Amino acid sequence: MRISARGRYALAATISMATRYDTGDNITVISLSESLGISKIYLEQVFSLLKKAEVVSSQKGAQGGYRLARPPQDISAFEVLWATDLSLFEEVGDTVKDHAPGIEAAMRISVFDAVDSAVKTTLSGVSLKTLADEMKKHRKDQGYMFFI
Amino acid sequence: MRISARGRYALAATISMATRYDTGDNITVISLSESLGISKIYLEQVFSLLKKAEVVSSQKGAQGGYRLARPPQDISAFEVLWATDLSLFEEVGDTVKDHAPGIEAAMRISVFDAVDSAVKTTLSGVSLKTLADEMKKHRKDQGYMFFI
DNA sequence: CTAATACCTAGTGAATCGGTATGCAAAGAA
DNA sequence: TTCTTTGCATACCGATTCACTAGGTATTAG
């Protein structure tokens, strides 16, 4: 499955924000861009989309920045990608002329809609909290990676 | 979900072939392109991919054409799209630098791999036979669309 | 005031997509 | 054999999208 860089950046950034959610601090785009190794200017555009979708809220000015609009367990990967990855949720256009009645409907019902539904269900079942926890399991400096 | 025209053409063409599978006849690209309303030259390229993936077999020369390589109930939508739709099955590249240990792994495990798996399961569960049957239910000239 | 920050709009090079053009290769028909 | 029908291969093209850059404006804490 192709997932755009924009969507992946959004996911990485919001996961990172989820780990710092309880502090209540604003998080700046530049700090995220540095810790993730992503272009700051591009990440700004990603956050513009996340704000429009009400995944994050913002505060302008000095000491400003972004915060998750809701607790991490209430934000799903679906919301983040929906806001940022266009091709993932693009409408499938018509394929054939109506010389072939029924083919269009069959494809739509049994394939396209079925896939869309499966993807949506999968993404909706994963929260930023889940992802942040999963992330902690995989950091290399966690401490329970040792040898006897 | 974005699904490329190439993949949709492949699906439409193989569904159409499935309805004529029992005759054993070769089916020409030009007849399919006309009945589906698709460019013949482009459809040829699609069939080149389907043949490489052994979804169809071919015979050259006069009275030649293509046939499904196996019975329609043994060919899944997954196979057809796998052969023709690149972006659907594209590998997701790395997103973040390793300044952020664990984020990459969390996204991959809980999101990308999960979605890929859901899509594959869904598509594998739909055969060309299923699609051909579904198609027949939806043709407008079926006869059980009447008014009292 | 000043510095830090979000926010807005336009542009750009590369890649991809959908499609065309052209011709060769093979196999059956005449 | 020769002709016609079909598959097969390659190169090319215009439009669109993608990832990203550039350069500004607006707002707010200190």
B27 has pLDDT over 90: yes
Contact A134 B34 (CB under 8 A): no
Local confidence band at A141 (pLDDT 50, 70, 90 cut-offs): low
pLDDT at A147: 46
Percent of chain B's residues with pLDDT above 70:
93
Helix (H, G, I), strand (E, B) or coil at B27: strand
Nearest residue, CB atoms, B1 vs list A90, A103, A131: A90
DSSP string, A41-100: HHHHHHHHHHHHTTSEEEE-STT-EEEESS-GGG-BHHHHHHHH-TGGGPPP---S-TTS
Tokens of B84: 């023709």
- Cα(A147)–Cα(B1) distance, integer angstroms: 45
Report chain C positions within 7 A of protein CB atoms. Answer: 3-10, 16-22, 25-29
pLDDT at A98: 62
pLDDT (tens digit, 9 = 90+) per residue, A70-91? Answer: 999 999 999 999 999 998 999 9
Helix (H, G, I), strand (E, B) or coil at B91: coil
pLDDT at A97: 77
- Cα(A35)–Cα(A72) distance, integer angstroms: 19
pLDDT at A146: 45
pLDDT (tens digit, 9 = 90+) per residue, B79-118? Answer: 999 999 988 999 998 988 766 779 999 999 999 999 999 9
Percent of chain A's residues with pLDDT above 90:
85
Closest nucleotide to A57, Cα to C1': C6
Residues found in chain A: 148
- Cα(A58)–Cα(B117) distance, integer angstroms: 35
Task: Pick the residue from chain B with its C-alpha nearest to A16.
Answer: B103
pLDDT (tens digit, 9 = 90+) per residue, A8-48? Answer: 999 999 999 999 999 999 999 999 999 999 999 999 999 99
Average pLDDT over residues B27-53: 96
Is the CB of A45 within 7 Å of strand D? yes
Q: Which residues contact B72 (CB under 8 A, 6 or more apart)?
A: B18, B21, B127, B128, B129, B132
